[in-house]
Amino acid sequence: MSFDDYDILVRIKGNAQIEGHFLMENASEEPLSVTVSCHERLNQLISGDSLDFGAWKALITEVETIHPVSCLCHSGSLCGNGLMMMSCHLDDIDIISSAYESLLLKFPSCHWYWQRYAYHHARLCNGNKAVEIFEKAVELTPFSVGLWCEYCNFAITYSDNEDDVRRLFQKGMTIVGKDYYCHVLWDKYILFEFSQQKWAHLANVYAQALHFPTQKLQKYYKIFKDLVTALEDEIQSLNNGNLEVQADPYKDASALSDKEISRVVNDLWDPSDISVRCKALHRYKVIGDQLYQKACQLDEKIKNFESNIQRHYFDTTPLDDDQLNNWHQYLDFIEEQKDFDWALKLYERCLISCANYPEFWMRYVDFVEAQGGRELAMFAIERATKVYLNNIPGFHLFSARFMEQIQDIDGARAFFSNYDPHCDIFIIESVVKQANMEWRLGNQEAACEIYEKALRWATSDKERKFFLPKLYIHYYHLKCVMTGGTYASRDVLIEGIKQIPDCRLLYEELIRFAMMHDGAKQLRFIETIITTAISSSSDELEGLDIKDREYISTLFLEFVDLCGTVHDVRKAWNLHIKLFPQFIRVNPLYKHSILKERQSNDSILLNLQSENQSSGHVILPQVQEMLTLPPLVDDRQPSSVPAERISTLNDDVHPSHKLTPHVNPKKIHLDHLSQYVSLNHC
């Protein structure tokens, strides 16, 4: 409603009427099957713990088709016990309550559903039940301007006590009075005081509305000046045209408390002493002017942020990057103002429209904690984990770390245990981070038991087998840190290979472990395991595939060449050539593919967050340079030769395998020379 003209406003009389409500509709007769279907859908959503906001909205629409909400229209009136009741024979308070309670439990920031739910109870039960719902709503979502508007609207109609309504308005303005769009609540408050014709209260509201910039700041200042002009005319006529007063000016009216401003306003209507009224009017005008000037200065700083906010309510649809960045920049600005109350309320306002974005909750928790607001931080974590972000693993981990930081270890452990057993990413993250926390706390046995428990869980069901590689690798890493790389950490890899013999990553880690920890002493042990792995038939159900076996064999060759004797090297080489004869053949295209295969494994990332995100645990294999190779002859692959016919370094050169006489000896000499140079460069 517009309040452009003070003279128009003063003519408003009578009780305030609720605005913007739904028109009353008579519920039509619906088949029983529709009601049954509605019950079934409700039970499905509840049992499935659905977070599909669209599905819940569709259900509420269906419920209200059968049980329409009844609100007062402009012709509504007050009765002795509250709202005028209207009933429908299909009314079913149980299904209505179940539907709304279930939706609002998951999405408590939807103020319009609280309002509709309250009116259902007002119609089917009584006004007191509706008040209980509104009280629950403002307790769960106290910073919603829309919710306070609906509650005060209802109170104006339901309550016969104007002081109760006034206290409700004051409570709401105390909480949301720094919201840039709280003008909708100021409008209703002003309209209410006009309807009661309590001019002192109205004058106080006018002054309070200038405390902070809102979208209607200019209009509120205009009606404030109109009121001052009207009071000047009245007092001047009573004082023989004299308004001259001697009053001490206020240096900073914004520093005055609400009680101090109220005393000035009360003096405006003091009938006993006209000089007191004159002085009060002068002070009232100065207070309003100073409040307005300061609000205008602040408005210049924030109006750009406010104009870029496109959504002021809760919704599950995503916000674009520009809006998210605007919120971050706005919060940066507010934090610089060193006004904790203002910053707190802006954060809460942000969390209504950005409720599904963990980064804002994390930022809020860190901010209030840094300001000494431990209880506020805990309350924010509770709301986020139980309502808005209960299915976001990252925020549960953030909460666990926060609890560890404040030395609430039991609380941290509780957050680690609150993972979804169907979410593999969260299981791995939870196990790893919780074990690391126990290790930081000095609980070595507890850290190991976390992994042991997770491994037992993963091996108990074939469908969970894919968890095992990452669990074993991370457990091995922890053991390395604990023991400094002793055989105890190696045993974790050995156990993993027994459980999942087709996991190439475990063999790689085993070879690298041996390279870094006295490889010569471990060569025989490692040789047994690797020989078994790479010699397995490809027809076996379990074990490495042909590409992985060749890769592991090549890596084992590097290990033996680094840590073994020449006899060990020749033995490993002979086995490798026997199993993978193409390795020594002169096909550069094949060699190129092998090099690409090796390069693709230069950085093996243990993926914890998702298939496209890295956990930061990097395993770097040794890079093998490729020998300089002669070109193909006639662009053809060499013919296949059985492995047993390939001569090895242990075989004497058979006369039948010697070069034929018509080969150019000079060409042979140059070829040998080029190979010698290439080998020395590798």
Specify the pLDDT at position 484. 85
Fold that domain 321-420 belongs to in CATH: 1.25.40
At residue 679's C-alpha, the angle toward residues 678 and 680, to 5°, is 90
Q: What is the per-residue pLDDT across 555-606, written as a single tens digit (0 to 9) for each? A: 999 999 999 999 999 999 999 999 988 777 755 545 555 555 555 555 444 4
Q: Name the 3-class secondary structure at 618.
A: strand
Output phi, psi for 654, to 5 deg: -70, 145
Q: Name the 3-class secondary structure at 605.
A: strand
Give the pairing of strands 78-79 and 82-83.
antiparallel
Q: What is the DSSP letter of 82?
A: E
Q: What is the per-residue pLDDT across 480-522, written as a single tens digit (0 to 9) for each? A: 999 987 888 999 999 999 999 999 999 999 999 999 988 888 8
Q: What is the per-residue pLDDT across 218-260, written as a single tens digit (0 to 9) for each? A: 999 999 999 999 998 888 887 776 656 555 666 677 778 888 8
Q: What is the per-residue pLDDT across 428-449, written as a single tens digit (0 to 9) for each? A: 888 999 999 999 999 999 999 9
Question: Is the pLDDT confidence value at 533 over 80?
Answer: yes
Question: Is the pLDDT confidence value at 527 over 60?
Answer: yes
Cα gap 325→236, rounded to integer Å:
54
Question: Is the pLDDT confidence value at 14 over 50?
Answer: no
CB atoms within 10 A of CB 462: 7
Specify the pLDDT at position 52. 78
Q: Establish whether domains 1-186 and 321-420 are of one fold.
A: yes
Instruction: Decide: 238 and 274 in contact? Cβ < 8 Å.
Output: yes
Instruction: Decide: 119 and 86 in contact? Cβ < 8 Å.
Output: no
Continuous segment of H or E residues that includes residue 324: helix 321-336
Please state, for a pLDDT cut of 90, what percent of the chain lies above it.
Answer: 51
Q: What is the per-residue pLDDT across 65-77, written as a single tens digit (0 to 9) for each? A: 776 665 443 333 3
Cα gap 197→639, rounded to integer Å:
106
Cα gap 115→612, rounded to integer Å:
43
Joined tokens for residue 81:
């016990």
Q: Name the 3-class secondary structure at 297.
A: helix
Give the mean pLDDT of 664-677. 40
Q: What is the per-residue pLDDT across 538-548, written as a single tens digit (0 to 9) for each? A: 455 567 888 99
Q: How confident is the model at residue 7 (pLDDT cuts 50, 70, 90)?
A: very low
Cα gap 656→643, rounded to integer Å:
18
Q: Name the 3-class secondary structure at 294.
A: helix
Specify the pLDDT at position 614. 36
- Select the more confidently predicted residue: 669 or 182: 182
Please state, for a pLDDT cut of 70, what percent of the chain lies above it.
Answer: 72
Continuous segment of H or E residues that includes residue 567: helix 566-579
Q: Which is nearest to 377 in space by CA: 366, 393, 387, 388? A: 366
Specify the pLDDT at position 1. 39
Specify the pLDDT at position 248. 61
Map out the domains of the chain as residue ranges: 1-186, 198-307, 321-420, 424-499
Yes or no: is domain 1-186 CATH 1.25.40?
yes
Query: To the nearest 10°, the Cα dihedral for 605, 606, 611, 613?
Result: -70
